[in-house]
Chains A and B, each alone.
Chain A
């Protein structure tokens, strides 16, 4: 079964950083982009940013710019998210998602999430 497998739960203190990994099936990076989405407890889904794993180009939501770093290792088909200067409000479930380009290509980044990782709980406390 095709799946994205994420690293385990993390506990961090405010001001520190966290790194989450997402291992994809081989060949995923040839066709799909990877994005990161988070969900605070009892809240909705929030797109954080994404990466083109083949070229390493990234994009992110304005609110995370400066704190969010994404990377991808093509040799292991693993994507990484690193969030720095953590605040208590960053406590959330973090998902990696595969972006399917779909049948209508508006530009290089257009598409929709068609596969989700199991989520990684990041808890930030003081």
Chain B
């Protein structure tokens, strides 16, 4: 079975542009979370979606937004890109938010965003 898939794997943008990152969860998983990992640091929580509704949001500006589709895939959008948005963006899926407690939270390989 396919794991969590993310696209694109790498992309380069310039300041002020907008970017959309995509995530397909493991089949049957209804919860998707997004994390930002700046080089040399641990991941930081951005959003959690479950059953197409936002269940949690981290300390990120309104330039960051996300949504979850009826097939449970998800998109993360970042507007007005800043140099500091350069990072690895990780998507993780689970059957439900509660499964994250059990360790049944599976990560994709991430999308590496570089902002010039």
Partners in one complex: no
Q: List the interface of chain A (C-beta within 8 A of B).
A: none
Q: List the interface of chain B (C-beta within 8 A of A).
A: none
